[in-house]
Amino acid sequence: MSITRRDFMKSTVAASAAAAVGIPISQIAKAEVAEAEKDWQWDKAVCRFCGVGCGIMCATKDGRIVATKGDPDAPVNRGLNCIKGYFNGKILYGKDRLTQPLMRMTDGKFDKQGKFAPVTWDQAFDEMEKQFRRAHGELGPAGVSIIGSGQYTVQEGYVAAKFMKAGVRSNNIDPNARHCMASAVAAFIQTFGIDEPSGNYDDIEYTDTAVLWGANMAECHPILWSRITDRKLSHPDMKLVNLSTFGNMSSSVADLEIIFKPNTDLAIQNYIAREIVHRDAVNWDFVNKHCVFATGPYDIGYGMRNTDKFAHDAEKDIQAKENAVVLDEAEAVAQRRKAGETVEQKNAGGAGKHWQISYDDFKTAVEPYTLDFVAELSKGDPDESLDDFKVKLKQLADWFIDDQRKLVSFWTMGFNQHQRGTWVNEQCYMNHLLLGKQAQPGNGAFSLTGQPSACGTAREVGTFAHRLPADMVVANPKHRERSEKLWKLPAKTINPKVGSHIVKIMRDLEDGNIKFAWVQVNNPFQATANANHWIEAARKSDNFIVCSDPYPTVSAKVADLILPSAMIFEKWGAYGNAERRTQMWREQVPPPGQARSDVWQVLEFSKRFTVKDFWGEQKLPGLKADGFEDGKLPDVIAAARDMGYSPDDNMYKVLFATPANTKVAWPDPVAKGHDNHTVVALGENWFPEKALFEEYAEFGRGHEHDLAPFDVYYRDDVRGLKWPVVDGKETPWRFNGEYDPYVPKGEKFAFYGKALKAIPKGNLDGVTDPNKTAHTDKAKIFFRPYAAPVEQPDKNYDLWYCTGRVLEHWHTGTMTRRVPELHRAVPTATLFMHPADAQSRNMQRKDVVWIESRRGKIKAVLETQGRDRMPKGYVFLPFFDEGVFANKIALDATCPISKETDYKKCAVKVYKA
């Protein structure tokens, strides 16, 4: 680019003026293109990394990505990227990119104890089919599984889910998004009856208060952080609060930094609620019209195993708490019980049930959460004075309650990866709903997402063990019926029993209840807490693990068969970000060697199974559902024959290459000359990504989840659209009559989600009237109490341990660590600790130290300065680095409702190596 500094200044001013009147920036900044770049071809795409969903542009030449840029017209990022996004063009070109299937072999045959050797796709699928049939034959549909992803494209998630749920009749498909968003999902469903946020990113520019609850946006949502910071710079009264368990990068711009003890966010939320009640600040107009009060059981366990059969000795004391807990002083006050009381965790299996309570009950419940009680309980920095901390809590409550002040709460993993993740999400809605600060521009509780398509794929497509597309669930007979109709399946094909969530898939591998697992677009053996157990289970048991990945990851190393996958710009796809924006891209470059898209892998594998393989009677231990014989899925082959299927029809034809889908022809003008290696590899002339998207979209159209036609997303003037897209218009704020076509005419608000609307009546102790009342169009204001973390520092393991991200690396680092510049910038994960804690252990920064928990020990380099500022008694370790395996020592406790792992709190000791 030859552009002088003065030209740049001029174009900046011009662009600024243009932006003010709504002209696309790209039309203003017309820099002179160098001769060498004249044959570069640019196309729009999406950033591969986080849930923000920045638009990018890709330049290709001779089948390679030669450059990328932030898309100046993308409303999310306006041409900017973070330092990961800056390297989108390089993630494809790591030196150890996998280009052919690799299988563990001895003497030319598969051997679980053998060494990896290259095989053909046919050999790979032959062994995979054999092993799948073995597990399926022995254990039925519950014995096979897919570990999916919040980084699946929409189409990848859809084909994987349809293959499992409609074909195999197994609900054992669950994404890594379980580790990421499940608590947010459970709270959305319980509170609103429908998933995903009501607002959008423009809330940032409309609000005057942003409260971060366990969201280090400065590092984990970098471009949104630019918007929040800009709001702060340009709006003098904008206030920013950072609630965290340690001083992170987001504190730098904050007006108020509140460092609290793990799990006490539950208490802080109730303190705010109590203040709202005591200051008579409830917005009764809003609450009476649009809300009901509710609560649920407290004795719900911690999502751990309820048996010590597999626990190592050191793990047994914590595991025992899954069954019974002795209440500590604070819990006793918070739950109006007696300290020292032993509470059997009787509702561990029914953690999600809830019932309506009265406002008086709600008032009684929040009454113990006084400023004195909550401040004493929650102050997280031993060096801060209690009085200073109280002033901060009070300031937070003041800003919440100020009726002149708009307020947005943002959160991610601090709330979601939480032993009471669903509760703490619901508490956030509690305060926003009490104040009527929800579903309006600048007002709302906004759950940020972690992964690029956790919303668009994992949640909307429903690649979870309990879900179907468009917020439907397998346990609901009407949802199964509608899905069977759309999928043209015989009645009772879909399995009504919720499958194994991702943590349970790991436990099932250990138990021998699952013997086939196919890992797609994620790295679960590095990312799942208490990893030693699962790696051992995978390697030592009689199971078969397939790992589809572009790179040799920890999970690939653990697997028996590795399938080389195409990466983002090597295939057609769609992602949906945190503000319900669906964005699509074309295949830009071909995948290397024999690497293939995940869509192709599932479609090709499905050709190997027929109707009679899956649709006969199947054993399903534990199945109990209306209309089903206990423990069995019925034979539907006869019904299938009536629908025109032959028992010998293969699943590819039944599920994917249907008559309707094969009419969607490839080539298609929307491609504008771009290739589709999936079609070529299939040897077909239909367009799977388009046909399957349209098929999937039918689930949501007219059902509050409307997506636009496929081709619309590829228009040059479209930069993604926020669903529901009704009559060609996106929906910026849901549940708000001014913006949302699904709100009945004349209504200001309607929380119209349909799930879990009918609930029984009760009080704080339980259900008093089991008859259910439907609260149509209403949201629930939940009371949820403080509960102590199941594992806390003690004399032996004397430090809190927390894992998380850094800006420079994505998740387990499998892509970003292969970008030399990012690897150089942050080559290894270091353990952050308070300098006084290091000193008292005779350690200093840069020492190599052991970090040991009940579950194992790992080595890391100690850091007491720099990026994170730890309070005494608390350490933080990023999880991107497989050389410093953070999740080996993390505890696999989960929220009992959402089943999402709490990666943010367990106990460790640290000593010099």
Partner 1 sequence: MGGAVAPPMQRNMTDKSRRDFLQKSAQGMAVAATGGLIWSFLVRQEAKANPAAIRPPGALVEADFNATCIKCGQCVRACPYDTLDLATAGQDIPIGTPYFFPRDIPCYMCPDIPCKVACPTGALRADLSDIADSRMGLAVIDMENCLSWQGLRCEVCHRECPLRDKAIGIETHPRQISKHAMFVPIVHSDACTGCGICEKACPTEKAAIRVVPAELVQGKIGEHYRLGWKIDTPITQEFKPADDRPAAQDDAAPGEAPGLDYLNEGSF
Are 369 and 334 in contact by the 8 Å Cβ rule? The answer is: yes
Q: How far is the CB of 500 from partner 1 (least distance, A)?
A: 25
According to DSSP, the β-strands at 906-912 and 516-520 are unpaired
Q: How far is residue 90's CA from residue 519's CA, in Å, rounded to a whole number?
A: 24
Residues 815-834, interacting with partner 1 (CB under 8 A): 817-818, 821-829
By beta-carbon proximity to partner 1, the closer residue of 691 and 851 is 851
Q: How far is the CB of 96 from partner 1 (least distance, A)?
A: 4
Token pair belonging to 375: 């401040």
Q: Exactly one of 140, 150, 157, 450 is catalytic; which is it?
A: 450
Residues 440-469, interacting with partner 1 (CB under 8 A): none
Binding-site member from 3, 233, 386, 643 for partner 1 (CB under 8 A): 233
Binding-site member from 115, 324, 883, 912 for partner 1 (CB under 8 A): 883
By beta-carbon proximity to partner 1, the closer residue of 229 and 483 is 229
Q: How far is residue 112's CA from residue 836's CA, in Å, rounded to a whole number?
A: 48
Closest C-alpha among 635, 656, 690 to residue 491: 635
Residues 145-204, interacting with partner 1 (CB under 8 A): 204
| Interface with partner 1, residue 82, by CB under 8 A | yes
Are 261 and 903 in contact by the 8 Å Cβ rule? The answer is: no
By beta-carbon proximity to partner 1, the closer residue of 183 and 887 is 887
Binding-site member from 60, 77, 495, 676 for partner 1 (CB under 8 A): 77
By beta-carbon proximity to partner 1, the closer residue of 828 and 840 is 828
Q: Exactly one of 190, 356, 417, 451 is catalytic; which is it?
A: 451
Binding-site member from 67, 253, 473, 670 for partner 1 (CB under 8 A): 253
| Interface with partner 1, residue 95, by CB under 8 A | yes
| Interface with partner 1, residue 533, by CB under 8 A | no
Angle at CA of residue 862, ends 856 and 865, nearest 5°: 140
Look up 181 and say whether it is catalytic.
yes
| Interface with partner 1, residue 557, by CB under 8 A | yes
Core vs surface per residue 126-159: b (16+ CB within 10 A) or e: ebbeebbebbbeebbbbbbbbbbbbbbbbbbbbb
| Interface with partner 1, residue 87, by CB under 8 A | yes
H helix intervals, 369-476: 371-378, 386-401, 413-416, 421-434
Q: How far is residue 768's CA from residue 331's CA, in Å, rounded to a whole number?
A: 24
Are 410 and 212 in contact by the 8 Å Cβ rule? The answer is: yes
Q: Exactly one of 50, 53, 82, 84 is catalytic; which is it?
A: 84
Are 580 and 200 in contact by the 8 Å Cβ rule? The answer is: yes
For 762, the 3-state DSSP assignment is strand
Q: How far is residue 773's CA from residue 403's CA, in Å, rounded to a whole number?
A: 32
Q: How far is the CB of 884 from partner 1 (least distance, A)?
A: 7
| Interface with partner 1, residue 19, by CB under 8 A | yes
| Interface with partner 1, residue 230, by CB under 8 A | yes
Scanning 76-84, 359-367, 393-401, 704-712 for contacts with partner 1 by CB under 8 A, the matching segment is 76-84
Q: How far is the CB of 902 from partner 1 (least distance, A)?
A: 24
| Interface with partner 1, residue 25, by CB under 8 A | yes
Q: Exactly one of 54, 413, 815, 870 is catalytic; which is it?
A: 413
By beta-carbon proximity to partner 1, the closer residue of 261 and 888 is 888
Look up 905 and say whether it is catalytic.
no
Residues 768-807, interacting with partner 1 (CB under 8 A): 806-807
**Residue 147 carries which DSSP code?**
E
Scanning 91-99, 319-327, 599-607, 641-649 for contacts with partner 1 by CB under 8 A, the matching segment is 91-99
| Interface with partner 1, residue 861, by CB under 8 A | yes
Q: How far is residue 541's CA from residue 534's CA, in Å, rounded to a whole number?
A: 10
| Interface with partner 1, residue 837, by CB under 8 A | no
Q: Exactly one of 164, 181, 217, 547 is catalytic; which is it?
A: 181
For 888, the 3-state DSSP assignment is helix
Look up 84 and say whether it is catalytic.
yes
The answer to whether the bond into 724 is cis (omega within 30° of 0) is yes
Sign of the torsion formed by the C-alpha atoms of 441, 442, 446 and 450: positive
| Interface with partner 1, residue 866, by CB under 8 A | yes
| Interface with partner 1, residue 522, by CB under 8 A | no
Place of tokens 């000795």: 313
The answer to whether the bond into 667 is cis (omega within 30° of 0) is yes
Q: Within 13 Å, how many C-alpha atoms sit on residue 542's CB side?
A: 8
By beta-carbon proximity to partner 1, the closer residue of 178 and 231 is 231
Look up 304 and say whether it is catalytic.
no
Look up 55 and say whether it is catalytic.
no
Core vs surface per residue 856-887: b (16+ CB within 10 A) or e: bebebebbbeebbbbbebbbbbbbbbbebbbb
Closest C-alpha among 371, 657, 621 to residue 499: 621
Scanning 14-22, 322-330, 453-461, 762-770 for contacts with partner 1 by CB under 8 A, the matching segment is 14-22
Query: Total residues contacting partner 1 (rule CB under 8 A)?
Result: 72
Beta bridge partners of 115: 105
Q: How far is the CB of 252 from partner 1 (least distance, A)?
A: 7
Scanning 225-233, 328-336, 431-439, 652-660 for contacts with partner 1 by CB under 8 A, the matching segment is 225-233
Binding-site member from 3, 10, 16, 385 for partner 1 (CB under 8 A): 16
Binding-site member from 55, 552, 732, 762 for partner 1 (CB under 8 A): 552
Binding-site member from 44, 232, 239, 855 for partner 1 (CB under 8 A): 232
Look up 100 and say whether it is catalytic.
no
Q: Which residues are catalytic?
A: 84, 180-181, 413, 450-451
